[in-house]
Structure formats: structure tokens, C-alpha cells
Chain A
Amino acid sequence: MSQIILFWSVLACEAILALAMACAAYRLARGPRAQDRVLSLDAFYVSGMLLLVTFGIRTGTTLYFEVALIIGALGFVSTLALAKFLMRGEVIE
């Protein structure tokens, strides 16, 4: 019984997160200006990171957790660098 509940809830969670990533990708492709695209890239990697956490729950392995941690770290740096680029026109001054 609990296996069935877990299977369907993890599947629903993954589907909803994939829908959220589709919304972020729509804004990423459509976005009228550059800051909209950077913002949607930020939401895109956060939902991808959460999707990897749910993959880890589904498979029961610890590997996906480390991938999620790396995505969190690299996404922070990339969004920061892109915001700095929009502000100044260059990343390293």
C-alpha cells in the first residue's frame, strides 16, 4: 500500500516539476528582455535541482543528491555572473 502511494506521488511530483520547467522554458524563449531570460534560467535550474532530488527518492540512491548539490552551487554562480554582466557589461573587472 505504501509503495503504491509513494510511486504515484513521486510520479505526480516529477510531472508537476516538469510542467514548471516547461513554464520557465517558455519565459526563457519568449522573454522580452535579457533580465527576464536570466530570471527564468534561475527558476529553471532550481526546478531541475528539485527534480533530481525526487529522482533520488525514486531510485533510493545517494548519487542524485550530489548532482543536485552541484547544480545548486553552479546555478548560483551563473546567475550572479549574468546579473553582473547585465549591470556592467563585463564579468571580471
Chain B
Amino acid sequence: MTGDQFPLWAAIAVSVLLVAGSLLMLAGCIGMVRFRSFYQRIHAPTLGTSFGTIFILAGSVVYFTVTQLRPAVHEVLIFVFVSVTTPVTLMLLARAALYRDRIERVQDVPASKDPLDNAEMQTSKKPS
């Protein structure tokens, strides 16, 4: 908190962005606790990783641009990195969970349409 001449509009903008972003992240984590199955749960934290991250980083950009402590383009780097990597990791995680559920023959998981996959399921053992 540097300087007494920090303008009021910027303070209000930073406050609204920070609180909105953190509330979205909290909503995502509460959803991850409350939902019943894994395939419902995997949707919830993306609320925080998409718009929660965008709002908090936008608040940081506004703050550091107004105080001019440093050029405020660095947050864009975090935003690009998170928004590119989160869909990749969660898609891979969902496919891994589907693979494990099919092998263990959990109910209400749809079978694979690929006959080679089904043949592999017949012969493979349960993962530990």
C-alpha cells in the first residue's frame, strides 16, 4: 500500500475485481466438495481457474498500472499459461478416470465405442 494519492475509482475497481475473483474460486471449491460423482466434480474448479483467475489478475494489473511500480503486462503471462494448461490437464484427468472406471466396470459409465478398447478391457487387470 504505497502512496496517499491512490485514486478512489482505482481502489474501488481493484476491490470489486479481487472480491469477485476470490468468490468465484470459493464457489468452485465448494462445488468440488458438494457434488456427488467425480464427473460432476471435475466441472466445478474450472469456475475458479477461468474467471476467478481473470478477475484477480485484472485487479493486479489495475493496481500496478495505477501505482506504476512495474509494467503491468506480466499478469497476462500467468493468465495465458493457466487458461491454456487447465483444459489440457483436466481433459487428460477425465480420460484417465474414465479408463479406470471402465476397467473396474463401475456402473453408469458408458462403454467405449472402439472394439479394440473393449478387447483390451477384457484381458487387462484391475489397476491398483
Contacts and interface: CB of A to CB of B under 8 A. Distances in A.
Indicate whether A and B interact. yes
Interface of A: 1-3, 5-10, 12-14, 16-17, 19-21, 23-24, 26-27, 33, 35-36, 38-40, 42-43, 46-47, 49-50, 53-54, 56-58, 60, 62, 65, 68-69, 72-73, 76, 79-80, 82-84, 86-87, 89
A12 B17 CA distance: 12
Interface residues of B, number: 60
A73 to B, nearest CB: 7
B48 A35 contact: no
Contacts of B92: 80, 83-84, 87
A83 B96 contact: yes
A58 B38 contact: no
